[in-house]
Amino acid sequence: MMRFVSATLLLLLVCGCEGKIARVPELRDPQQQSVDQPGLEFFNSLSGQLEIELSEPAERVAENLANEAAPPTATIVSLTFVPEIFVEETEEFRPLTEEELSRVAYKGASITLVGEGGVAVEHKAPNGQHFTVAELVTAVEKTEKESRAKSEWLDGIDVHHIFFEGMYQEEDGSWWITWGS
């Protein structure tokens, strides 16, 4: 299966995000929760994928394609988000370090994330002030656990758009998680 670096590194890759590119927008209202720009830019630069286990195995769409589709009757048994960093020099992926996981990614007491199935899930910062990269990874995973079952791709749960491409802010202040294939 082919792997992609996040949208921020590939610039104009827009698969699975309704024509919108993952980016860190300017905040419209200074009273809104603040965004730690370097932290969120770092978070959006992460690669990684969802590992989804189904009650029935996914099937290849066509013999000559890597695309997979879940059977219409399949349900999600487990779902895990595994973030990584792409190292350009070696052209390989590596896991995040403890230092990277502990960086502040988002400043705010809460954040609302919208998953692939369109479900918005509010998350409270464990310390009431900000989310670290590790805490935001957990929030993304929890959001997808609640939302992904409501997604649809080729008559089943979307198990094809699983490569993390970042998050972008909607006008209502929520953050849409983007996934590519």
What are the tens digits of pLDDT across the range 114-141? 999 899 999 999 999 999 999 999 999 9
pTM of the model as a whole: 0.77
> Concatenated DSSP letters for 149-169?
GG--BTTB---S--EEEEEEE
Residue 88 lies in a domain: yes
109 within domain boundaries: yes
Q: What are 35-94's pLDDT values in tens digits? A: 557 889 999 999 999 999 999 888 887 877 777 888 888 889 999 999 999 999 999 999
Identify whether 95 is part of a domain: yes
Whether pLDDT at 30 is above 80? no
Query: Does 86 reside within a domain?
Result: yes
User: Does position 20 have pLDDT exceeding 60, yes or no?
Assistant: no
**Is 40 a member of any domain?**
yes
Looking at the domain assignment, is residue 73 inside a domain? yes
Q: Between helices 37-45 and 133-147, what is the axis angle to 10°?
A: 60
Domain enclosing residue 165, as ranges: 7-26+33-60+68-180
Residue-level pLDDT at 35 = 57
For the residues 4-13, what does the mean pLDDT come to?
A: 35
What are the backbone dihedrals phi and psi of residue 83, each rounded to the nearest 5 degrees, phi first?
-80, 150
Bridge partner list, 123 = 111
How many domains is the chain built from?
Answer: 1
Asked if the structure places residue 1 within a domain, the reply is no
Give a yes or no: residue 2 inside a domain.
no
